[in-house]
Amino acid sequence: MVELKNWHIERKAVSVEDVFYAFGTVYGHKSPRCPDGTHIHTTRIMSIEDKGDFLEVCTRNTVYTLQKQEISSNFGAEGGYFLWDFRKCFTGFLGEKAEELLTELAEIAAEKLRKLIEQAPPLENGMFYLMLSAGAGFYYDDAFYKDKNGKIKKEEMQVHVGMFQDSVLLFGCGVRYFPYKQNGIEFYYSMDEMFSEIVEDSDERVFGYIHNSGSVPLTVKMVWGKTVEIKPNETIPYCRAELEKYPDAKLASQADLYSPEEDFTAPNTPFLQ
């Protein structure tokens, strides 16, 4: 059985028709390129069947099992994956049963998000919580933040395709970073820059937290140049004064940045049939 965890579905317009793909962390795939725990996206979805606790998603050569409980917490959330993509996909394959399925999945995803928020450190207004994983596309696993009114919101992530370098933009909290090939990222715009002119103690202020939700260490370079390693399941504060206490780490060279010529959807994501 080939299973996708932390999955979602995206649409791509091809000519005059919509084509849908499943994304997630794969387990049980026969391809040697994708050992268990690899983040992938499939080829075109050919059919979907609701089997009760799971969806059976078929591509040209593979049958995937998508447990409903394994749907991404981004589903249906404000700033999360496009609900429209799911609705159009499920309506096309499941007809009238689509809306009932969407409601069921939204409830599951909302509960997952609630648990993530409970497990995160307490956030003050304006703070963020960013989850990174080497097994996720562009290392982005999940994120949320507390707005100026004290409301927790899902982060809205977008990949910016640059002329020389792609980057990840988080619109809610203002964090932006470049992904590197060797399990690392470099922040190039962040909350400390936005607030430095109006917050006198910006070096001491905690603007948020970065959590490694993956199974291998990640190297993270801050805007001011400090580079640290985040171990699996470790959370570090986004705070200049605190991070200066951490041991220095080494990030890959500039030549190892992802480029627009590489896989746009997710540089770490094999494309499987």
Q: Is residue 156 part of a domain?
A: yes
pLDDT single digits (tens) 173-217: 888 999 988 889 999 876 666 555 445 567 888 999 999 988 889
Residue 138, judged by CB atoms within 10 A of its CB (0-12, 13-18, 19+), counts as buried
Q: Are residues 152 and 190 in the same domain?
A: yes
pLDDT single digits (tens) 220-268: 999 888 999 999 999 999 999 999 999 999 887 665 665 544 443 443 4
The residue ranges of DSSP E strands in the chain, in sequence order, are: 2-14, 17-27, 38-42, 47-50, 54-58, 63-67, 128-132, 140-146, 152-154, 157-160, 167-170, 176-180, 184-189, 208-212, 218-221, 227-230, 235-237, 271-272
- Domain residues for the domain of 99 are 2-113
Quote the pLDDT of residue 258.
57
pLDDT at 102 over 60: yes
Contact between residue 155 and residue 116 where contact means Cβ atoms under 8 Å apart = no
Q: Are residues 105 and 61 in the same domain?
A: yes
d(CA 246, CA 176): 22
Q: Are residues 19 and 109 in the same domain?
A: yes
Q: Are residues 159 and 235 in the same domain?
A: yes
Q: Is residue 120 part of a domain?
A: no
**Residue where a domain terminates, one of 56, 88, 113:** 113
Domains in the chain: how many in total? Answer: 2
Give residues with Cβ within 8 angstroms of 224, minimum separation 6: 192, 240
pLDDT single digits (tens) 148-159: 899 988 887 888
What's the predicted TM-score (pTM) here? 0.73
